[in-house]
């Protein structure tokens, strides 16, 4: 039986002192009211309402029961109401995981604007290049740089594609020469971003031809920014997302090599647990992200 409606019926009947009136309020037939009360009494094992066709009054049991019931029902409507602000406007605490580098280079400057737009949102932003477990660690959303398809039941929205470029400092090219084709890389000093899915093997394409080069690197590091720093110092060649070195290239601090070859690209995804019942706060942040990376 449906306890919940039975209890609601009981409450209405008790407070309105009438079966028929309760039925009208709840949009139920008199028959339904009668049955609900009877069921509830059967469940409780006690008569709750003494009644004839014209009069009705709670029994002692009924009074005691009602008292508790009302507390319970109120708690439930409170529960629904407690969620409505979170459902209405974007508010609450938003837990986001994002990789350090991409955040610092492309996002963190814009975040105050986001927080300014949604004063009800508190942002807990965890910068971490690990691939975090969304649900285990309770994140609402994560940003991931991924080069392969998403694996799990999570939802992924593509934010941006970051093509990689092979580059080094002018001083490096002067000292070691400039590679003409991918295989030349074997004799070069390569700097490796170790968290990349293609850290060990660098891939180049031209005219449908694919060249793979197993890279041996004396310097592996878990941040592309550290790679960039090393590149600037002329320590070696690196494969690095274009946006990170855009300024360096324009201003001549770094130069590209093998520009006629296409190489890997990192796709940036926003990942979240489910598309259903997406919380407004999460929705707002998603919009912010797509807008921010969309330009």
Partner DNA sequence: TCCGATCATTCCCCAGTGGTGAACAATATC
Partner DNA sequence: GATATTGTTCACCACTGGGGAATGATCGGA
What track of x and - describes contact with a second copy for positions 120 through 159 (by CB under 8 A)?
-------------xxxxxx-x-----------xxx-----
Q: Which of 29, 31, 87, 210 binds a second copy (CB under 8 A)?
A: 87
User: In whole angstroms, how close is the CB of 156 to DNA at the nearest point?
Assistant: 12
Q: Which of 46, 111, 155, 226 binds a second copy (CB under 8 A)?
A: 46
User: In whole angstroms, how close is the CB of 111 to DNA at the nearest point?
Assistant: 29
71 binds, among a second copy, DNA, none (CB under 5 to 8 A by kind): a second copy
Measured on CA atoms in the order 248, 249, 250, 251, is the torsion positive or negative? positive
Count of residues that bind DNA according to CB under 7 A: 31
119 binds, among a second copy, DNA, none (CB under 5 to 8 A by kind): none
The answer to whether residue 31 forms part of the interface with DNA (CB under 7 A) is yes
User: In whole angstroms, how close is the CB of 8 to a second copy at the nearest point?
Assistant: 9
State the first-to-last Cα distance of the chain, in angstroms, to the nearest integer.
56
Give the residue with the Cβ less far from a second copy, 42 or 109.
Answer: 42
Residues interacting with DNA, by CB under 7 A? 1-2, 5, 18-21, 23, 27-39, 51-56, 133, 151-153
Residues interacting with a second copy, by CB under 8 A? 2-5, 7, 41-42, 44-47, 50-53, 55-61, 64-65, 67-69, 71-76, 78-80, 82-83, 86-87, 92-93, 133-138, 140, 152-154, 273-274, 276-279
């Amino acid at each position: 039986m449906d306890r919940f409606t039975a209890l609601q019926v009981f409450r209405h009947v008790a407070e309105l002192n009438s079966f028929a009136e309760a039925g009208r309020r709840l949009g139920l037939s008199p028959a339904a009211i009668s049955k609900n009360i009877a069921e509830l009494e059967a469940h409780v094992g006690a008569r709750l309402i003494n009644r004839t066709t014209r009069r009705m009054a709670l029994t002692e049991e009924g009074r005691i029961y009602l008292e508790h019931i009302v507390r319970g029902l109120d708690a439930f409507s409170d529960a629904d109401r407690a969620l409505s602000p979170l459902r209405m406007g974007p508010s609450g605490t938003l837990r986001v995981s994002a990789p350090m580098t991409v955040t610092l280079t492309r996002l963190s400057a814009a975040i105050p604007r986001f927080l300014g737009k949604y004063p009800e949102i508190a942002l807990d932003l965890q910068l971490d290049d690990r691939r975090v477990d969304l649900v285990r660690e309770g994140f609402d959303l994560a940003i991931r740089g991924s080069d392969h398809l998403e694996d799990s039941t999570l939802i992924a929205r593509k934010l941006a594609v970051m093509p990689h470029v092979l580059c080094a400092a002018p001083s490096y090219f002067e000292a070691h020469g400039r590679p003409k084709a991918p295989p030349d890389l074997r004799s070069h000093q390569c700097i490796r971003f170790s968290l990349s899915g293609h850290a060990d093997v660098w891939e180049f394409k031209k005219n449908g031809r694919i060249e793979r080069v197993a890279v041996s690197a004396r310097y592996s590091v878990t941040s592309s920014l550290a790679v960039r720093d090393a590149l600037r110092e002329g320590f070696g060649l690196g494969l690095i997302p274009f946006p990170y070195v855009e300024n360096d290239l324009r201003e001549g601090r770094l130069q590209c090599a093998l520009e006629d070859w296409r190489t890997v690209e990192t796709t940036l995804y926003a990942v979240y647990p489910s598309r259903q019942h997406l919380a407004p706060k999460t929705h707002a942040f998603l919009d912010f992200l797509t807008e921010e990376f969309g330009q």
